[in-house]
Amino acid sequence: MRRTTQHADGAPLVLHVAVLDLCAARGRFRATAPDETPRATSRWAARVGATLAVNGDFFDRPGAPLGRARGDGREFSLRSQYYFGALVAARRGEVPRVLERYEAPAAFTEVVSAQERVVVRGVERVDPHVAHSRLRHPRTAIGWARDGLEMIFVVVDGRSPRSAGATTPELALILRDLGAWEAVRLDGGGSSTLAVRGRVVNTPSDRAERTVANHLGFIEDSTTPAPSQCASRAAVDVAPDAPRDAMEFPRTARPARVRRVLAGVRFSPRDVRLVSKE
């Protein structure tokens, strides 16, 4: 889906959304392995055969994610203790879930770090440890429906006359309005990319697709059985009591007050653009 709308203050806003029906989909999720980077999101998707892919962690140089990262069971070396509020992690052949912790058990073969959870049990949340949440930027986020049967991938264009981007509270409201019960925010800015069937569907703010450190994608495979999530279970496995000693918490952070600043974003059939396999 692509939607051109505006913020409550009149600023332009362009959204790109891919909703994955986990009961209809046949395939597996995959994160970037250490020997598959650095690559632009669409190039990584082409390499692994991913139908859908988004950019992943923050990084300080291509190929070196700042957070915990694992792909195809292979771990990246931890280079930093940059703050990340959650992990998006999947066991082999399973749907990704959110772990509000810094370490992922070895059973999780695909791991991407998220800077913060922005929707928690259907309510917007702004992490007080993140300094730039009130500025409008391009954004990338992943949400889960309440029943766990859909994943929602969102990229917000920004830094252009066509689209101002979104603050973190605005991003949370967008995700909630799209049906997300839980959601996390990944790296944004010039990194924000949504690739579908080999094509970048958003407009990267660098005017060209950026080479990034890692990614998360879905690889179609008609022989894969329907995921067990179709039996309906919670979409999120939160571990708030997990050790977070290795994280750095900025000392100057102040809690942010969330208020409704975005005009309602609702999608109708006319907003949907089907992307064929051809």
Span 248-258, pLDDT tens digits: 333 333 333 33
Residue 154 — pLDDT band, cuts 50, 70, 90?
very high
Burial of 256 by CB count in 10 Å (0-12 exposed, 13-18 middle, 19+ buried)? middle
Residues 6 or more apart from 6 whose CB is under 8 A from it? 12, 13, 263
Q: Is the confidence at residue 152, as pLDDT, over 50?
A: yes
- What is the rounded CA–CA span in Å between residue 31 and residue 89? 9
CB neighbours of residue 197 within 10 Å:
15
Q: What is the mean pLDDT of residues 30-56?
A: 97
Least confidently predicted of 143-157, 184-198, 222-236, 264-278: 264-278
Residue with the larger pLDDT of the pair 147 and 241 = 147
Two structure tokens written together for 233 = 């279970």
For the chain, the average pLDDT equals: 82
Q: What is the mean pLDDT of residues 85-101?
A: 88
Cis peptide before 225 (omega within 30 of 0): no
Least confidently predicted of 136-140, 148-152, 179-183, 273-277: 273-277
Give the N- to C-terminal CA distance of the chain in Å, as an integer: 18
The pTM for the full model equals 0.84
For residue 175, give the 3-state DSSP assignment.
helix
Q: What is the DSSP letter of 193?
A: -
